[in-house]
Structures are given as structure tokens and as C-alpha cells.
Amino acid sequence: ELAVDTWQDAKARFDWSNLDGYFIHQVSKVYTDAITTALDIDPARTPVIFPTRGNIGPASVPFTLAANQADLEPGQRIALMGIGSGLNSAIIEIVW
């Protein structure tokens, strides 16, 4: 619920409907699927690392970004999304 509220509030201020990538805090396939569905984010634009690295906690966002940086091109817009278990939520846009 907090993630959806944060996302809706951000969408009212920023155009994040069609970013090039969404780097989310991820702990499992179930969690990642739930977040992409709840926020209506294209799963194809959401790189994942949990299949090979498991749940690496808060490091998942920067780790996933580092692991996929070769796929990013200058000028692409991406979101880094730290979404916890209903206790916190942070989203920031980066233009690569």
C-alpha cells in the first residue's frame, strides 16, 4: 500500500509512466511480480538479480544497477526504487 501511494504521488508530479528502466528492491519473484503489477510497471524493463543472487537486502538496487550498467545508454531515464515491507518507500529518477 505504501509503495502504491508513493508511486501515485510521484506520478502526479513527474512523468514516470514510460521510463527506460525500473531498478527495484527485490527479494523474490513473488515480491517483484507483485510490485510490478501493483505499480503497472513493465516487467521487461525491470532487471532482476534474485534468480542468481537471492535476497541481498538493501544492496539489491545498487547491485542490480551495477550489474546492468552496460545495457544503459546516455540519456535514458531510470528509476531506483527502494521499497521496504510497508515501512518505507523511496523512488528517485536518474538520467543516465
Cell of 86: 510497508
CATH superfamily of 2-95: Thiolase/Chalcone synthase (3.40.47.10)
Q: What is the pLDDT of residue 86?
A: 62
Residue located via cell numbers 551495477 = 66
Which residues, in sequence order, are CB contacts of 58 under 8 Å at separation 6+? 25, 82
Rg for the chain, CA atoms, rounded = 12
Give 42-90 pLDDT, tens digit per residue: 999 999 999 999 898 889 999 999 999 999 999 999 999 988 766 777 8
Q: Using N-to-C axis directions, what is the helix angle for 2-13 and 29-38, rounded to 10°?
A: 40
pTM of the entire structure? Answer: 0.87
Neighbours of 46 (CB within 10 A): 20
